[in-house]
Amino acid sequence: MAIRKLKPTTPGQRHKIIGSFENITASEPEKSLVVGKSSTGGRNHRGKMTIGYIGGGHKKRFRFIDFKRTKDGVPAVVKSIEYDPNRSARIALLYYADGEKTYILAPNGLEVGTTVMSGPEAAPEVGNTLPLANIPLGTVIHNVELRPGQGAKMVRSAGTFAQLVSREDKYAIIKMPSGEVRKILATCKATIGSVGNSDHALQQSGKAGRSRWLGRRPHTRGVVKNPVDHPMGGGEGRASGGHPRSPKGIYSKGLKTRAPKKHSSKYIVERRKKK
């Protein structure tokens, strides 16, 4: 996928960089896989604001994505590549041989007309989903399960990928996009290839209005608030605000928030690299 830099005909166009949408082949989603989506505006059931700076935005419809890929041995043809407003990646509409239709995340290189399959017998090709035990070492993967049959939980954002490094006993060793190396049961499934729309990270909105379209309201810094509103507020003049904190007073930079006795820590071989 390529990106488009527009001519500076207006101040909002001057710094605007957006995706080209050249690989998208359908403008309307599959009706049977879509449901209406309501927005909260950051309010709870009593109407009280519990999350700040959320509200407005364009109306969205939710697309059901098949993260489990349980139809083993049934080939499916890619009918279209579509835009999904609920995620950074593109999605692909599959038509299975038995008549069922599903959406999956579109990996890099997946094109309309390609046949994909899931299951232990599937070939390790882009778009196919296999158990980690059947994937060749060194393969680039995404849509990784944490527990067998749970559905993909990791490596789902645009342009991301993990790598199958080795296998030990009943575990596969995976290098995650963050640099973390961890063990995952070899019976868990993963999809071959990297997630598409890799140029998503290069986009620039160009104006505040595009943030409003996405449902993001103006964000006020904590240091300019009063002490009653934020732990970093108050002070004479332009005070620094002290240690960075959240509105609830929790340190926001450098404080380790992971539980020290978390059960899954024993599966982490190497921690992610610090920035």
In the chain, what are the domains?
3-200 (2.40.50.140), 225-275 (4.10.950.10)
- Average pLDDT (35-45) is 94
Query: Per the confidence metrics, is the pTM higher than 0.85?
Result: yes
Cα separation, 102 vs 118, in Å, equals 13
pLDDT band, residue 184 (cuts 50/70/90): very high
Evaluate whether 193 touches 78 at the Cβ level (below 8 Å).
no
- Average pLDDT (137-143) is 96
pLDDT at 22: 87
Q: In 205-247, where does DSSP find H-type helix?
A: 208-213
DSSP string of 169-182, one letter each residue: TTEEEEE-TTS-EE
Question: Nearest-5° angle of CA 85, CA 126, CA 178?
Answer: 65
Question: Nearest-5° angle of CA 30, CA 35, CA 37?
Answer: 130
Evaluate whether 164 touches 186 at the Cβ level (below 8 Å).
no
CA distances 62 to 39, 95, 112, Å, are 11, 19, 22
pLDDT at 257: 87
Q: Which two tokens stand for residue 274?
A: 């610090």
**The amino acid at 225:** K
Q: How far is CA 228 from the centre of its chain?
A: 35
Percent of the chain with pLDDT over 70: 99
